[in-house]
Amino acid sequence: MSHREPHPEGERLQKILARVGFGSRRVCEEIIAEGRVTVDGVVAELGRRVDVETQVVAVDGAPVGVRPDLVYYLLNKPAGVITTADDPQGRPTVVDVVPDEPRVFSVGRLDGETEGLLLMTNDGQLAYHLTHPSFGVEKEYLALVEGEPSRALLRTLRDGVDLEDGPTARARATAVEPNLLRITIHEGRNRQVRRMCDAIGHPVVRLVRTRIGPITDPRLAPGEWRELTRDEVRSLEVASASEKPATGSEPP
């Protein structure tokens, strides 16, 4: 690994960590002294300077968003709002709901008719980790379905169903009510939950995403958004660095 010179004009590491919520400057100095912090993969020394634009800081192996310009929003997407930056048909989009500046994009997507939690950010690194299937971050949905799926069919959902783009990985599926399923997947294929329910003969009537990794918020009303807390951002960074699918490929 090549040796990089510290950036003389960069911010000091303990100051950066304190700014992004790891605790007081003193606490952050201790975290660094314990050897838990790396910069570009190399264990960092106390007092080193970091270029937050280009260098990757990680704590306990999980990258930390350290750029001061990064924003993270949690949106409860209503049905009929489209997950795109610009809809040629002029329908309302998720980008219309959150502040214009800085420009953000959605982390993954929800179908037009699907409701529920959607992350929006300008942090490309976190978005990549959260959406890349090999990191396997869990997404939980409530699906109101036609009819009442049998226990055997719920087991089929859990074990994997054959879709045209291949079998689904193991999932969690339980009946909250006879026609209301809680389904947790860690893949992110197009219309996956709808297609899984179609495949067992119980099409979705209404679909709501209720959790993304560790993030949930039952009090956020449809159409509302809020900023993630520092702790929530960190919990996503940790989840996307450590969660892995039960089966499937390793991260690149």
Active site (catalytic) residues: 111
Residues contacting 35, CB < 8 A, separation 6+? 43
Among the listed residues 114, 156, 168, 240, the single contact to ligand URA using CB under 6 A: 114
Question: What part of residues 151-170 is at the interface with ligand URA (CB under 6 A)?
Answer: none
Look at residues 65, 47, 46, 45 and name the one whose alpha carbon lies nearest to residue 55: 65
Q: Is residue 76 involved in binding ligand URA (CB under 6 A)?
A: no
Q: Is residue 194 involved in binding ligand URA (CB under 6 A)?
A: yes
Give the shortest CB-177-to-ligand URA separation in angstroms: 20
Closest to ligand URA by CB, 19 or 182: 182
Closest to ligand URA by CB, 53 or 113: 113
Stretch that binds ligand URA, among 99-107, 156-164, 187-195, 214-222 (CB under 6 A): 187-195
Spatial contact of 40 and 52, defined as CB atoms under 8 Å apart: no
8-state DSSP, 228: P
Residue whose token pair is 């912090």: 37
Q: Beta partners for 167?
A: 162
Return d(Cα 212, Cα 235) in angstroms, integer: 11
Stretch that binds ligand URA, among 14-22, 63-71, 190-198, 226-234 (CB under 6 A): 190-198
Amino acid present at 237: E
Return d(Cα 252, Cα 246) in angstroms, integer: 16
Give the shortest CB-250-to-ligand URA separation in angstroms: 24
Stretch that binds ligand URA, among 23-31, 58-66, 106-114, 240-248 (CB under 6 A): 106-114
Return d(Cα 126, Cα 184) in angstroms, integer: 21
Among the listed residues 40, 87, 111, 138, the single contact to ligand URA using CB under 6 A: 111
Q: Is residue 193 involved in binding ligand URA (CB under 6 A)?
A: yes
Closest to ligand URA by CB, 12 or 194: 194
Q: Is the peptide bond before 218 cis (omega within 30 degrees of 0)?
A: no
Q: Is residue 236 involved in binding ligand URA (CB under 6 A)?
A: no
Stretch that binds ligand URA, among 19-27, 40-48, 49-57, 191-199 (CB under 6 A): 191-199
Give the shortest CB-87-to-ligand URA separation in angstroms: 16
Spatial contact of 154 and 175, defined as CB atoms under 8 Å apart: yes
Q: Beta partners for 208?
A: 115, 142
Look at residues 72, 165, 130, 78 and name the one whose alpha carbon lies nearest to residue 251: 130
Give the count of residues interacting with ligand URA (CB under 6 A).
8
| Most distant CA atoms of the chain, gap in Å | 65
Q: Is residue 182 involved in binding ligand URA (CB under 6 A)?
A: no
Return d(Cα 151, Cα 161) in angstroms, integer: 15
Q: Is residue 121 involved in binding ligand URA (CB under 6 A)?
A: no
Residues that bind ligand URA (CB under 6 A): 110-111, 114, 191-194, 207
